[in-house]
Structure 1
């Protein structure tokens, strides 16, 4: 029987697959399909699916601070619900953490286009912003602002805390973007694409 060097009883290729799956799933911001993971690692989809389900059971049995969940036809790590209060405290009050470039860009789109839906923010940035939006809500920088009357989409706006952190009295004090826009601004739609 093959033994891995760490004594888990798994053969080395299976342990490498587990390690590689964990590494990829740790950095993604949206669920990844089993097929995409299998293709990336050159292994059968069934093997990836079996390994992911085993990992998810193991994390639950060990009562880790995170879950591995199958959602939206893919897999992703999520904070365990019992840990939500601790995470919220850390993000809001417990530790001053700098915002990532993605968070700053997302916050700027919300600030200049509010109230705005997640879909519109993602369209402007050209990437899915759901995870970043959740983080900004948790940090108290943006908040829900009702629903769009036409589409029903949830809208977001900046908060008083946002103004406080930026040292602004009101949104009117946000810098003018005109000097940073391209000269051929005529003919651009809401997403910045030429019409």
Structure 2
């Protein structure tokens, strides 16, 4: 595999790893290259990102690598945060919100078990939009945070109580079959789009 392709895959891995980041050893294992090669790939990417026409950089904390924005652009990101939220939520955020709405209180790990993929970013998105909130901690090992919907969730979707949520298909509850869940999420998304409003 050529260096450019390896760099492209490594960039995708850094992006996909999100807030958790990724280590050189993990990159080695995924790309099936020696550590020296992986380190060379990262160093080349760091050099590429140093150009003024690039908006990202690789940050290293201990052994973990993160893809992040450049600090010199921070004033623009503050403006983005201050803008009214007029964009619709991603499918991943809607799916995560649906799970929380019907299964609350629920932990991040339990959400991921249902979705089958990591859900750090969707959960963070929902927290930042105040649609969900921490409701306590589960009395198990590690005492993980429990999430539930907020008052803003009801307001955003034009509901007066959780009892007004669209009925959940029984098959999705009993079997938790992927196809049934997908149908449910699609239905939830459609109904929420009908009830939601752009701010």
So what's the TM-score if we normalise by structure 1?
Answer: 0.66
Rg (Cα) greater in structure: 1
Question: Aligned in 2, Cα 1:181/1:110: closer, same or farther, shift over 3 Å?
Answer: same
Paired position in structure 1 for 2:96: 106
Paired position in structure 2 for 1:44: 34
Contact 1:56 1:68 in 2 (8 A): yes
Stretches of structure 1 that go unaligned for 5 or more consecutive residues are 1-12
Question: Aligned in 2, Cα 1:39/1:174: closer, same or farther, shift over 3 Å?
Answer: same
| Pairing partner for 2:65 from 72, 75, 82 | 75
Question: Aligned in 2, Cα 1:45/1:185: closer, same or farther, shift over 3 Å?
Answer: same
Contact 1:110 1:156 in 2 (8 A): yes
Paired position in structure 1 for 2:146: 155
Paired position in structure 1 for 2:155: 164
Alpha-carbon distance between aligned partners in 1 of 2:107 and 2:39, rounded to the nearest angstrom: 34
Alpha-carbon distance between aligned partners in 1 of 2:17 and 2:42, rounded to the nearest angstrom: 15
Number of aligned residue pairs: 174
Shifted more, 90-99 versus 130-139: the winner is 90-99
Give the CA deviation at 1:78: 3.3
More helix as a share of residues: 2
Give the CA deviation at 1:58: 7.0
What per-residue deviation string (whole Å, max 9, x for no partner) do you get for residues 128-173 of structure 1? 1112111111122112222223341111111222111111011121
